[in-house]
Structure 1
Amino acid sequence: MNNPYYRRAGSDGEFQVFDSTEATGSNWNPEIQHGSPPLALLSKLIEEGAEGSGLRVGRLTLDILGAIPVSRVWVRSWVDRPGARISLRVAEMAAQAPNGSRRPVARVTAWLLARSDTTDVVTDRHPPLVESEAAGAPLPQSWTGAPGYLRTVSFRRQDDGGGTATVAWMRPLVPLVDAESTTALQRLAMVVDSANGVGAALDPARFVFMNTDTTVHLHRLPEGDDFAVRARASIGPDGVGVTTAEIYDRRGFIGTSAQTLLVQRRP
């Protein structure tokens, strides 16, 4: 699959307009989007809006406000809390509702913080993660061969060694928007929502465990286009779960992610 996730379709007032391709399709339902493409596209708007400010992203939170259709979407961004040292930016995606109106379907909020030199006090609480020569274990059987998003990422699973989490290296295989260049942060956003699938504690053939959000904290900006998560889900007794993960690039530990899960038994 060589399609980008999105193709530009012009502008509409304050909105940029994009056509979603089949590459965005979720493993749960190919007619709705996986969380990573919207996170990446809205992160692109966040970064572009912050150019020249001297600030960089410290936290990204994607909230999925409804089913995101694989169709035309409208996106916009704005500053919610201006500041020279700390600023909150928001990017929002809308899609057409059945009645023809537009409804918000996803929103990313990002805390941006001023840069300063702290190289002498750098602290990583986890050592770098090295990809195993044996990496490459398949996805869960019920997701193997799924159309859409799962075909657009190189997944290489490996043993964590301790048995408490699952590690997977991931690299996006398609562009985000047409042939436009992407930043390392956008490439990370193109895969990081997959932590829920990587760290699955349940069989997806028997359970649905969809995340409503993805929050990423980054003490260092990512580098390159190959990223790993060490992820694990915790499932509560009443249909709610959480997946947490440590995130790595080839240089080392860069941050953490957390996702809230709706857990339901399949009929």
Structure 2
Amino acid sequence: MPDNLSFFTLDDDGSSLVPTPLAISSWSETQLHGVAVSGALARAAESEVHAAGRTDLRAARWTVDLFRPVRNEPLVIRTEVVRESARLLLVDVAVEQEGRTVTRAAGLFLKPTETPDVGLWAPEPDPLFAPPPLEVAPAAEEPHVPFVRSDADWSQDFGAHQNAGRKSSWNHVVPVVPQERPSGFVAAAATADGASLTTNWGARGVEHINTDLTLTLTRLPDGLDVGLTALHRTEHDGIAAGTSVMFDRSGVCGTVQVTALANSRRAINFEQVRYRDDGTRVEA
């Protein structure tokens, strides 16, 4: 696999991100998918926090509004600190193309403190919020096709999981730019867009396109292997809301909620396509 595998490259003066084929959406070759866009925005938000010298803060909430398609063209990313105090920093981030904002995000970074020693309700551990066994998905050093679990057991054969079963995915994050290891926050933010897949993938493929995502984190993932399992889903009149649990090999670390619109006439049928580890698609 190439050492420079990434969603974007930097242009000559570093002022914009140029998409690579890995960033292209399955919905259209003219637009980018949310994994790449959320990862790029998170990288910019985290850079703003670091520029403010706030190494004492940790990402706790990440919201992305995907209100216009992000085209397969260079991205300019703008950041602004909205609020900063001793215990938090809120930063807004936006993607601009041809002088127009096409996607925006907001990141809330909080200062960790002691956990109160009081009785609080907590759910029982759920075996579905766990990664595939190491003999199925060994610890990875490079990006790979995600592993999926549904009514069928963990595998990288997407066609085998085109069913009405509850979905889980296990992902190794692609770098936003070449030879820059993603942070735990960027890994979580990029993976979060996959909650649309785990909650909206059914027996006929993916028939919904998400309009947003909201990630909440109580800790950062350990490394670049991150999983999602569908927790809840509801839909009325073509508007769907889904929630997935995020986890790594140490346990649960957060949740992701997505809102989606029915898009049945342009469904993504995974029985007709396969993916290689370098991101290329081939007809099944």
Report the TM-score when normalising by structure 1.
0.79
Alignment of 1:48-59 (within 5 A): 48-51=47-50, 52-53=53-54, 54-59=56-61
Corresponding residue number in structure 1 for 2:260: 261
Corresponding residue number in structure 2 for 1:166: 167
For structure 1, the residue ranges without an aligned partner over 5 or more in a row are: 97-101, 137-151
Q: 1:103 aligns with which of 83, 100, 119?
A: 100
RMSD (Å) for aligned C-alpha atoms:
3.0
Against the structure 1 CA distance between its residues 134 and 82, is the aligned structure 2 distance closer, same or farther, given a 3 Å change threshold? closer
Corresponding residue number in structure 1 for 2:275: none
For structure 2, the residue ranges without an aligned partner over 5 or more in a row are: 137-142, 153-163, 267-284
Corresponding residue number in structure 2 for 1:40: 39
Alignment of 1:53-92 (within 5 A): 53=54, 54-92=56-94
Corresponding residue number in structure 2 for 1:154: 145
Instruction: State, as a whole percentage, how many aligned pairs show the same letter.
Output: 24
Q: 1:117 aligns with which of 96, 103, 114?
A: 114
Corresponding residue number in structure 2 for 1:193: 193
Against the structure 1 CA distance between its residues 187 and 122, is the aligned structure 2 distance closer, same or farther, given a 3 Å change threshold? farther
2 CA distance for matches of 1:50 and 1:10?
A: 25
Q: Deviations over 1:73-115 (max 9, x none)?
A: 101211012222122111111112xxxxx21111110111122
1 CA distance for matches of 2:124 and 2:168?
A: 14
Q: Deviations over 1:179-214 (max 9, x none)?
A: 223212112222221121123253455x63000001
- The 4+ residue runs of structure 1 with deviation greater than 6 A are 119-124
Q: Shift of the alpha carbon at 1:19?
A: 0.6
Q: Deviations over 1:37-57 (max 9, x none)?
A: 111111111111112312211
Return the letter of the residue paired with 2:84: P
Report the TM-score when normalising by structure 2.
0.75
| Structure with the bigger percentage of strand | 1
Against the structure 1 CA distance between its residues 203 and 233, is the aligned structure 2 distance closer, same or farther, given a 3 Å change threshold? farther
Corresponding residue number in structure 2 for 1:142: none
Against the structure 1 CA distance between its residues 131 and 8, is the aligned structure 2 distance closer, same or farther, given a 3 Å change threshold? same
Q: SS where residue 68 of structure 1 aligns?
A: coil
Q: SS where residue 236 of structure 1 aligns?
A: strand
Corresponding residue number in structure 2 for 1:127: 125
